[in-house]
Every structure is written in C-alpha cells, then in structure tokens.
Amino acid sequence: MAKPVIAIVGRPNVGKSTIFNWIVGDRMAIVEDKPGITRDRLYGTGEWLGTSFNVIDTGGIELDGEDSILRSVRVQAELAIEEADVILFMVDGKAGVTPDDEEIARILFKSGKPVVLAVNKVDNIQRQELIYEFYSLGFGDPIAISGAHGLGLGDMLEAAARHFPPETEDPYGDEVIKVALIGRPNVGKSSLVNAILGEERVIVSDVAGTTRDAIDTPFEKDGQQYVLIDTAGMRKRGKVYETTEKYSVMRAMKAIERADVALIVINAEEGIIEQDKHIAGYAHEAGKASIFVVNKWDAIEKDDKSTQQFTQKIRDHFLFMPYAPVLFVSAKTKQRLNRLMPVVSEVAENHAARITTHLLNDVIMDAVAINPPPTDKGKRLRINYVTQVAVKPPTFVIFVNNPELMHFSYERYLENKIRGSFNFEGTPVRIITRKKSSDE
C-alpha cells in the first residue's frame, strides 16, 4: 500500500535540501546504475525504525517567471498540504522568526495537517535558546536540529513518525490485478481509462481510492478482476499545478506504489520528453511490471516502418527498461485497445512468477559453463547456487565465494540468461549477490 509522505516546507535557504539529502541518504544514487535512467531530487524514500516513507523536498518546485518568492513558497506549501501525511516545517534558528515564516505557518495551521517544527542551524548546545521564539508560530515544542552537523535529526524523524497513518490492508486482495495509468499531463490518461471501461462495459463500481485523490475503478474481463488506478482522475487544482511539471511525478508515485502493473502513457503526437523518463524511472525503481502505451497513434501519419521506428525511440530513451512491451493504441478510435488487457494480465503473471530452485540452478550453471566469470586480480568468482527469494518483482539471490568479484556486466549476463529461459517480459528482475556462509 501507499507509504506515508513527509513534505519539507520552508522559505528559501533554511536548509531543506540538506535535510532531504540526509533523509534519503545514498538511495537516490545507488538505486540504479544502468545507463539512461533519469531522476530528479524532488521525491525520495527514507526509512525510520523499519518504516519506509516518501519525502518531498518542496524546494525543488520552482515556478517559471515567478516574481514573488513568498508566492512561490506559498505554492510549495499548498502542494505539500495536498500530498503529505506529515509536514516538516523548517525555519532558520540564526535568522529568528521572519514574516515569511509567519505566513507559511498560517497556511499550514489552516490545513489541519500534523506539523513538526524543526529549527535548523542550532549547531551546538549553547545555541539551544534560539528555539524559544519559535513557540510563537503555534506548533508546540520546536525541535532543534543541525543539518550541517547531523544533530537532532533522529528526534525530528521520531516526531514525524508519530503522525504516520496506520497501515491499511489491500482492499482488493492478491487475485485482483491493480493497474496504474501514469504519465505527464495531457498524454490522454483520462480518455484511455474511459475507452478501456467503455470497451468492457462491465464496470463493477466506482469507489474512492485509499489514497487521497486517485480514482479506483474495479472491473472484470474474461474472468479476471482488475482495478484501474487513474491518476488523471484527481481533482482539478488550478493552473499552478499544470505549470509545476514535476508535480506529475508526485502524483504518479502514489499510484505506482499501489499497483501491480504500470501503464506508462506516452503521447504519440508530442513524442518522448524528459518528464516521461522521470515517471517511468519511478515505476522501474519501485519494481513494478510496466507497459509503454503509446496513445493517439491514430493522429500520426504512418508508413510500414512507423511502429518499428517509434519502438526504437522508446528503447533508446528508456535503456533501463528493455523488458517493457510497447503497445500502440488510440483511445479515440479504440485502435488496438483490445490487446491491452491481455498484455496487462500476462505481465502481471510474469511479475508474480516463481521459479523452482533446481530449474534456476540448471540455467545458471549452464550459463557459467558457457561463459565462466572473468578473473579479477587473479581471483575468480565462484557461483555456488541461486534461489528465488521474492516475487513482485522476481528477486534472486546468488550465493558466491566473494560478492565483490561479481561485475555488473556479468550480473547482467546472468539476468539475461534467466530472462531467456523463463518468461519475464514486462517485469524487472532483481539480483542480489551474497557470500555463501562457511557452514553451508
């Protein structure tokens, strides 16, 4: 289910990005080392005492042509209020309470959302008295922190975690395939949802989603139950949300977390832009089965090579997702729409597939025999055995003599062998290398 969300809010130069970077740690850098993946620093994942959560750095939201810093900060605060379960309101202990702080406090206070007030730049115990004037903002006990020295940050996260909503059970169960339509604004997500449901004509009901503002629509086709999680069904919130393009990534993240399959919708008329790569990258990093759905294909002048050429463009731009099939459809004319749900069902099945250990080891040992691991400074990687430890996505642990000898290129070779032997189209495959313990 969707993770709790902390949003970091505050005026410029209070240290929001420093705290964001501390919370997400190295995750943003180490999640993916394959070529071609893109990511921004607006949205990350943190963990506190075993609980994983998402964190938004609203400082990453910039309004083009905005002449008022305060108005920009106000917009950031409003975005945070919409998205967050807990708001981390950061102020500068050295600067004291400013009019901008008071304005942000008024906005946050009206929201009714839980607020943790963090006073940054309290770098030592002698500066502790800097926090007292911040009681005037009305959020209870301020927490003294130092982003530069790492002081008080545990207390800050502990205070935030107290406001996390309780975990909720999946209301649909494992048998229902949950499908998120994701993509930047105006790629045709809403019309695609309407076309899918119009085609099936077996809508069970419209229910409010378990997240604040996605629309869940359960329906059934060929005996399989699905739920469409439509990010396009969110409330209209004014022009500012359209001009804040990064915001579409934040909307997509929640839908991705709840889904089994992500339909990455691309506008055939506009082609591929950087924002498409951000959104697809989050689906990949979240380990979801994925399908590229090129919408508005009816509007393109085509020849016998058009499909092949556009597919190649997708492969070139999304090097980190070679496993995701590409479908060309038109919500307007229903062109090829009948192919969509069967492919969704297939990739969902692959995403949940489990391979027996002996078959897996046969494949890996054959791969090693054909192409033994290269030596590194006279040492050679020795693979003992492999086992599948998880599904959604399929995750394999390879036990070896020394994990440091596993080069990423050889790991990719083994992944390709696994993919070539078993049908994992549409799903990422994760490989973990571990040292075989001496008593095994």
Do 265 and 343 lie in one domain? The reply is yes
Do 363 and 341 lie in one domain? The reply is no
The answer on whether 17 is annotated among ligand-binding residues is yes
**CA 263/CA 282 separation, integer angstroms:** 12
Q: Is it the case that residue 43 has pLDDT exceeding 50?
A: yes
Task: Identify the bridge partners of residue 207 per DSSP, sorted by sequence position.
Answer: 216
Do 107 and 156 lie in one domain? The reply is yes
- Give the CATH number for residue 91: 3.40.50.300
276 domain residue, yes or no: yes
Do 109 and 151 lie in one domain? The reply is yes
Whether 115 contacts 134, CB under 8 Å: no
The answer on whether 57 is annotated among ligand-binding residues is yes
The answer on whether 190 is annotated among ligand-binding residues is yes
The answer on whether 10 is annotated among ligand-binding residues is yes
440 domain residue, yes or no: no
Helix (H) or strand (E) run with residue 179 in it: strand 177-182
Band of residue 439 on the pLDDT scale cut at 50, 70, 90: low
Do 262 and 209 lie in one domain? The reply is yes
The answer on whether 233 is annotated among ligand-binding residues is yes
232 domain residue, yes or no: yes
Lowest mean pLDDT among 1-10, 31-40, 227-236, 262-271: 31-40
- Give the CATH number for residue 405: 3.30.300.20
Do 218 and 329 lie in one domain? The reply is yes
Radius of gyration of the chain, Cα coordinates, nearest whole angstrom: 24
Among positive and negative, which fits the CA dihedral 342, 343, 344, 346?
Answer: positive
Band of residue 197 on the pLDDT scale cut at 50, 70, 90: confident
Q: Is it the case that residue 395 has pLDDT exceeding 70?
A: yes
φ/ψ region of 10 (left if φ > 0, alpha if ψ in -120 to 50, else beta) reads left
The answer on whether 234 is annotated among ligand-binding residues is yes
The answer on whether 121 is annotated among ligand-binding residues is yes
**Across the beta sheet with 383-390, what order do the strands follow?**
383-390, 395-400, 430-435
The answer on whether 313 is annotated among ligand-binding residues is no
**CA 118/CA 431 separation, integer angstroms:** 39
pLDDT of residue 50: 84
The answer on whether 376 is annotated among ligand-binding residues is no
The answer on whether 400 is annotated among ligand-binding residues is no
Last residue of a domain, one of 351, 380, 412: 351
The answer on whether 209 is annotated among ligand-binding residues is no
Do 182 and 93 lie in one domain? The reply is no
Q: Is it the case that residue 168 has pLDDT exceeding 60?
A: yes
Number of domains in the chain: 3
Mean residue pLDDT across the chain: 82
Mean pLDDT of the 6-11 span: 89
Do 140 and 217 lie in one domain? The reply is no
93 domain residue, yes or no: yes
Tens digit of pLDDT for each residue in 209-225?
A: 333 345 678 888 889 99
The answer on whether 61 is annotated among ligand-binding residues is yes
Tens digit of pLDDT for each residue in 319-337?
A: 999 999 999 999 889 899 9
Tens digit of pLDDT for each residue in 335-361?
A: 999 999 999 999 999 999 999 999 999
Do 272 and 336 lie in one domain? The reply is yes
Percent of the chain at pLDDT > 70 equals: 82
As given in the structure block, the two tokens for residue 284 are 């990949």
| pTM for the whole structure | 0.74
Helix (H) and strand (E) counts in the chain: 13, 18
The answer on whether 54 is annotated among ligand-binding residues is no
pLDDT of residue 363: 96
pLDDT of residue 249: 62
The answer on whether 204 is annotated among ligand-binding residues is no
Tens digit of pLDDT for each residue in 53-100?
A: 888 887 655 444 445 666 666 776 777 777 789 999 999 999 999 988
Domain of 73?
Answer: 5-161
Whether 320 contacts 36, CB under 8 Å: yes
The answer on whether 185 is annotated among ligand-binding residues is yes
The segment with the largest mean pLDDT, out of 15-24, 85-94, 228-237, is 85-94
The answer on whether 188 is annotated among ligand-binding residues is yes
Do 413 and 304 lie in one domain? The reply is no
